[in-house]
Structure 1
Amino acid sequence: MSSSKSHVFKEVIPKAGQLYQEDHPSIVLCKPKIMPLKSITLEKMEKMQADSQEAMKKHETEASNSQF
Protein backbone atom coordinates (compact mmCIF):
# COMPACT_ATOMS: atom_id res chain seq x y z
CA MET A 1 0.00 0.00 0.00
CA SER A 2 1.10 3.56 -0.65
CA SER A 3 1.84 5.94 2.16
CA SER A 4 -0.82 8.48 1.08
CA LYS A 5 -4.31 7.72 2.37
CA SER A 6 -7.41 8.04 0.26
CA HIS A 7 -9.88 10.54 1.71
CA VAL A 8 -13.59 9.98 1.20
CA PHE A 9 -15.79 12.97 1.80
CA LYS A 10 -19.23 12.45 3.24
CA GLU A 11 -22.07 14.45 1.64
CA VAL A 12 -23.77 16.81 4.05
CA ILE A 13 -27.33 17.95 3.30
CA PRO A 14 -28.67 20.74 5.52
CA LYS A 15 -31.87 19.95 7.38
CA ALA A 16 -32.87 23.61 7.84
CA GLY A 17 -32.08 26.87 6.07
CA GLN A 18 -31.51 27.66 2.43
CA LEU A 19 -29.54 25.61 0.01
CA TYR A 20 -27.53 27.68 -2.48
CA GLN A 21 -26.04 26.38 -5.67
CA GLU A 22 -24.27 28.65 -8.13
CA ASP A 23 -24.71 27.80 -11.77
CA HIS A 24 -22.00 28.91 -14.20
CA PRO A 25 -23.36 28.92 -17.74
CA SER A 26 -20.89 27.63 -20.26
CA ILE A 27 -20.46 28.72 -23.84
CA VAL A 28 -22.54 26.66 -26.23
CA LEU A 29 -21.31 26.68 -29.80
CA CYS A 30 -23.94 26.14 -32.46
CA LYS A 31 -23.50 24.97 -36.00
CA PRO A 32 -23.12 27.94 -38.35
CA LYS A 33 -26.16 28.86 -40.35
CA ILE A 34 -25.46 28.79 -44.07
CA MET A 35 -27.13 31.71 -45.74
CA PRO A 36 -27.84 31.21 -49.43
CA LEU A 37 -26.41 33.68 -51.87
CA LYS A 38 -28.77 35.26 -54.35
CA SER A 39 -30.88 32.61 -55.97
CA ILE A 40 -31.21 32.42 -59.73
CA THR A 41 -34.85 33.48 -59.51
CA LEU A 42 -33.95 36.57 -57.44
CA GLU A 43 -31.22 37.51 -59.92
CA LYS A 44 -33.69 37.17 -62.81
CA MET A 45 -36.27 39.31 -60.99
CA GLU A 46 -33.67 42.00 -60.21
CA LYS A 47 -32.56 42.03 -63.86
CA MET A 48 -36.18 42.33 -65.04
CA GLN A 49 -36.77 45.20 -62.59
CA ALA A 50 -33.61 47.01 -63.71
CA ASP A 51 -34.57 46.54 -67.36
CA SER A 52 -38.08 47.88 -66.74
CA GLN A 53 -36.72 50.92 -64.86
CA GLU A 54 -34.29 51.58 -67.70
CA ALA A 55 -37.12 51.30 -70.22
CA MET A 56 -39.26 53.72 -68.16
CA LYS A 57 -36.43 56.28 -68.03
CA LYS A 58 -35.87 55.91 -71.77
CA HIS A 59 -39.59 56.34 -72.41
CA GLU A 60 -39.73 59.43 -70.15
CA THR A 61 -36.73 61.05 -71.86
CA GLU A 62 -38.25 60.40 -75.28
CA ALA A 63 -41.56 61.86 -74.12
CA SER A 64 -39.90 64.97 -72.69
CA ASN A 65 -37.81 65.44 -75.85
CA SER A 66 -40.88 65.18 -78.10
CA GLN A 67 -42.70 67.89 -76.09
CA PHE A 68 -40.07 70.52 -76.89
Structure 2
Amino acid sequence: MAEVKSMFREFLPKQGQLPVEGVTTMVLCKSKLAPLKSLTLEKLEKIQQATQDTICQQEMAEKEHQQITD
Protein backbone atom coordinates (compact mmCIF):
# COMPACT_ATOMS: atom_id res chain seq x y z
CA MET A 1 0.00 0.00 0.00
CA ALA A 2 1.09 3.49 -0.74
CA GLU A 3 1.70 5.73 2.25
CA VAL A 4 -0.53 8.80 2.32
CA LYS A 5 1.27 11.99 3.26
CA SER A 6 -0.63 14.25 5.59
CA MET A 7 -0.28 17.98 5.74
CA PHE A 8 -0.15 17.65 9.56
CA ARG A 9 2.90 16.41 11.36
CA GLU A 10 2.73 14.24 14.45
CA PHE A 11 3.76 16.17 17.54
CA LEU A 12 4.58 14.68 20.94
CA PRO A 13 5.23 17.17 23.74
CA LYS A 14 8.33 16.60 25.85
CA GLN A 15 6.76 18.07 29.00
CA GLY A 16 3.27 18.16 30.43
CA GLN A 17 0.34 15.89 29.84
CA LEU A 18 -0.34 14.07 26.64
CA PRO A 19 -3.85 14.68 25.25
CA VAL A 20 -5.82 11.49 24.75
CA GLU A 21 -8.72 11.46 22.33
CA GLY A 22 -11.78 9.37 22.94
CA VAL A 23 -11.66 9.56 26.73
CA THR A 24 -14.43 11.63 28.26
CA THR A 25 -14.19 12.86 31.81
CA MET A 26 -16.32 15.05 34.01
CA VAL A 27 -15.27 18.68 34.13
CA LEU A 28 -16.47 20.85 36.97
CA CYS A 29 -17.08 24.46 36.08
CA LYS A 30 -18.69 27.47 37.68
CA SER A 31 -22.45 27.44 37.24
CA LYS A 32 -23.95 30.23 35.17
CA LEU A 33 -27.38 31.54 36.03
CA ALA A 34 -29.54 33.05 33.35
CA PRO A 35 -30.89 36.50 34.19
CA LEU A 36 -34.51 36.58 35.24
CA LYS A 37 -35.15 39.64 33.07
CA SER A 38 -33.96 40.09 29.55
CA LEU A 39 -31.93 43.14 28.60
CA THR A 40 -34.74 44.39 26.40
CA LEU A 41 -37.23 44.18 29.27
CA GLU A 42 -34.84 46.08 31.55
CA LYS A 43 -34.41 48.82 28.92
CA LEU A 44 -38.18 49.12 28.50
CA GLU A 45 -38.64 49.39 32.27
CA LYS A 46 -36.01 52.16 32.43
CA ILE A 47 -37.74 54.06 29.63
CA GLN A 48 -41.12 53.66 31.34
CA GLN A 49 -39.71 54.85 34.68
CA ALA A 50 -38.09 57.88 33.02
CA THR A 51 -41.39 58.74 31.33
CA GLN A 52 -43.29 58.47 34.61
CA ASP A 53 -40.72 60.71 36.32
CA THR A 54 -41.08 63.31 33.56
CA ILE A 55 -44.88 63.27 33.83
CA CYS A 56 -44.69 63.60 37.60
CA GLN A 57 -42.34 66.59 37.31
CA GLN A 58 -44.65 68.24 34.79
CA GLU A 59 -47.66 67.76 37.07
CA MET A 60 -45.76 69.25 40.02
CA ALA A 61 -44.76 72.25 37.88
CA GLU A 62 -48.40 72.77 36.81
CA LYS A 63 -49.58 72.65 40.45
CA GLU A 64 -46.96 75.21 41.47
CA HIS A 65 -47.93 77.42 38.54
CA GLN A 66 -51.63 77.21 39.54
CA GLN A 67 -50.81 78.08 43.17
CA ILE A 68 -48.81 81.12 42.04
CA THR A 69 -51.60 82.39 39.75
CA ASP A 70 -54.35 81.88 42.41
* TM-score, length basis structure 2: 0.45
Structure ID, larger Rg: 1
Which structure's relative contact order is higher, taking Cα pairs within 8 Å and 6+ residues apart?
Answer: 2
* TM-score, length basis structure 1: 0.46
